Amino acid sequence: MKNPVSVPSRAISGDDISPPAQQLLRDLNLLPEEGDLAHAGGFVAAFKGPPDSVALIEAGATAATKWWSVGLGVMVTGAWAAVRTWWSAEDPANQHILLWGAAIVTAAAVLGVAHLFASDLRGRAAVATETVRARAAVAETFVRMAEQAHARTLDGQHVAARAPGDGLQFAALPSITVENMAKHGPEEAGWHALGLLTDGARRNRYLIAKGNTHEWVDAGMVSVP
């Protein structure tokens, strides 16, 4: 792996998943660098082949395949040049042999080039397919993590969290003004309910606050004015 990959506990902010997703794909060699993409479409790539990262991902022919094809083409050209050189000086029997020999060499070279390209592209197409699947899995994971990051924000709605071990559930409330009937006189009014603790059955208690004072009060002792 070219770069070490670290996964922090809060890798997704929920704002924009594109930059971290692209960076992770590049660190895992599932997405080529911008420079490699530019070189893959250049004039030199037509002869040397695209960079390996792009050739694998986009199923392009490698430089080795292209140079083998060029070599076989040169061999065929040389064979026909030799036939043309010797043709006029040979008798008809030898001319037929030269013609058949050149034809066989040409056919073998054409089949060889076709086999090279087909094998190379078939293998790289399989790699490209798996790369696309891996990209989709990473993108889906980032989208799911972003949704979870958004779900963790309160945004005026109450969010429930289970208290460990006791089966109770706490729900945050948007600061509701209430009266604390456990108090008397002026102390009864001016409280704000901040949360509700419940076991889902009969036990319900409110977390209420007034100034710097916080208290847990049974639901029956809390009234909305």
Q: Which residues are CB-neighbours of 25 under 8 A, at least 6 positions away?
A: 31, 135, 138
7-11, 65-69, 111-115, 154-158: range with lowest mean pLDDT? 154-158
> Can you name the residues that pair with 214 across neighbouring β-strands?
209
Q: What is the pLDDT of residue 209?
A: 85
Helix H or strand E segment including 136: helix 92-151
Q: What mean pLDDT is predicted for residues 147-161?
A: 49
**pLDDT band for position 94 (50/70/90)?**
confident
Segment 68-88 mean pLDDT: 74
Average of per-residue pLDDT across 188-211: 80
Q: Which residue has the tokens 């073998």?
A: 108
Q: What is the pTM of this model?
A: 0.40
pLDDT in tens, 18-77: 777 777 777 776 777 776 666 655 555 555 556 666 655 554 555 566 666 777 777 778
How far apart, in whole angstroms, are the C-alpha atoms of residue 120 and residue 50? 13
pLDDT for the residue 1: 43
**What are the extents of the domains in the chain?**
18-151, 160-223
Name the phi and psi angles at 207, rounded to 5: -95, 115
| 215 DSSP β-pair partners | 208
Q: Is the pLDDT of residue 107 over 80?
A: yes
Scanning the structure block, which residue is given the tokens 């056919």?
Answer: 107
Average pLDDT, the chain: 70
Lowest mean pLDDT among 59-73, 74-88, 168-182: 59-73
Query: Nearest Cα to 65, choosing from 116, 109, 115?
Result: 116
Nearest to 47 by CA among 67, 31, 29: 67
Write down the pLDDT at residue 78. 78
pLDDT band at 164 (very low <50, low <70, confident <90, very high): very low
CA distance to 60, 125, 178, per residue, from 64 (Å) = 12, 17, 79
Is 176 in a helix, a strand, or coil?
Answer: strand
Token pair, residue 42, equals 């250049």
Cβ–Cβ under 8 Å, residues 53 and 33: yes
